Amino acid sequence: MKKAKKIAGVLLSLICILTIIFLVWAVPAYKPNFDVEAFIKSNEKVKIQIDRNIVINPLDKKAEKGVIFYPGGKVESSAYIKIASKIAEKGYRVVITPMPLNLAIFGKNKAEEVIKENSDIDIWVIGGHSLGGVMASDYAYNHLDKIKGLFLLASYPQEKFNFKDKDIKALSIWGSEDKVANLDKIKSSKNIMPNDTVFVEIKGGNHGQFGSYGKQKGDGEAKISEEEQQNITSEYIVKFLDIIK
């Protein structure tokens, strides 16, 4: 009898998991709000290659540091090409990793393949937007031998991952008008982040404008443009990358 109940419980859990996966799959992902192909062709500052991952390199120099970028939940990876290009043009290789079902929770170790496939890069920083940032934090915590820096856009680490005494640099950025992320958790993450972490609130920024996919459901109205928010964000990320050794 106990065995039958155990089997029934396992089956019920499996059905619930499969139902959740199906519902997630059925909900359309946020797509880029710009012509990706035209942007790639017209960009004269970076080289953008799309294969299993999106790899962006500067055209005027060889990148010596790499950035792994995890997309936000239910957002197509190509929606981050614009902000990633702003970072890459300053001399860095940026690799955006598409996620299964567009959810980083199903691909939090994607950074592993990126590092292996880009063996010419010795210094790596990882980060992401929203859910992507949470999963990037997970990877960074468990691979401190490979990751030198962590940046979070409208995101925060899980509480069980305390970076206080860890040898890693960190940057956290969010928008003042963000109505999607839990801003209290973002701000309170100071308690588990390295003491020298840089925390930045972008006045007038919201949640969705860290990517280029239009208005996100439930988000606040931004008081600055998408381009301005991404310019500010990329400038902070580039300054952050400059100090990583």
Identify the CA nearest to 186 among candidates 240, 137, 243: 137
Q: Between the CA of residue 231 and those of 62, 171, 181, 197, what are the distances in Å?
A: 23, 16, 21, 20
Q: Calculate the alpha carbon distances from 243 to 83, 237, 240 in Å.
A: 20, 10, 6
151 and 113 housed in the same domain: yes
Tell me the mean pLDDT in the region 126-144.
98
CB 100 within 8 A of CB 41: no
Residue-number span of the structural domain to which 116 is assigned? 31-243
Claim to verify: residue 150 and residue 195 sit in the same structural domain: yes
Q: What is the pLDDT of residues 183-234, one digit of tens each?
A: 999 999 999 999 999 999 999 999 999 999 999 999 999 999 999 999 999 9
Same domain? For 2 and 65 the reply is no
C-alpha 56/C-alpha 225 separation (Å) is 24
Averaged pLDDT, 20-31: 69
Statement to judge: residues 59 and 139 lie in one domain: yes
Same domain, 15 and 40: no
Q: Are residues 1 and 57 in the same domain?
A: no
Residues 132 and 72 in one domain: yes
Are 206 and 139 within one domain?
yes
- In this predicted structure, the answer to whether residue 24 has a pLDDT above a threshold of 70 is no
Q: Tell me the pLDDT band of 15, cut-offs 50, 70 and 90.
A: confident
- Listed residue (61, 63, 73) closest to 95, CA to CA: 63
What pLDDT, on the 0 to 100 scale, is given for residue 60? 87
Mean pLDDT of all residues in 103-121: 96
The model's pLDDT over 96-109, given as tens digits with 9 standing for 90+, comes to 999 999 999 999 99
**For the whole model, what pTM was predicted?**
0.90
* Domain count of the fold of the chain: 2
Tokens of 5: 């109940």
Q: Are residues 20 and 97 in the same domain?
A: no
The pLDDT assigned to 25 comes to 57
With bands split at pLDDT 50, 70 and 90, how would you rate the model's confidence at 23? Answer: low
Q: 16 and 38: one domain?
A: no
Residue 236 has pLDDT above 90, yes or no: yes
Is 30 or 9 the better-scoring residue by pLDDT? Answer: 30
Percent of the chain with pLDDT over 90: 87
Burial class of 200 by CB neighbour count within 10 A (0 to 12, 13 to 18, 19+): middle
pLDDT tens digits, residue range 66-77? 999 999 999 999
Give the residue, 18 or 236, on which the prediction is more confident.
Answer: 236
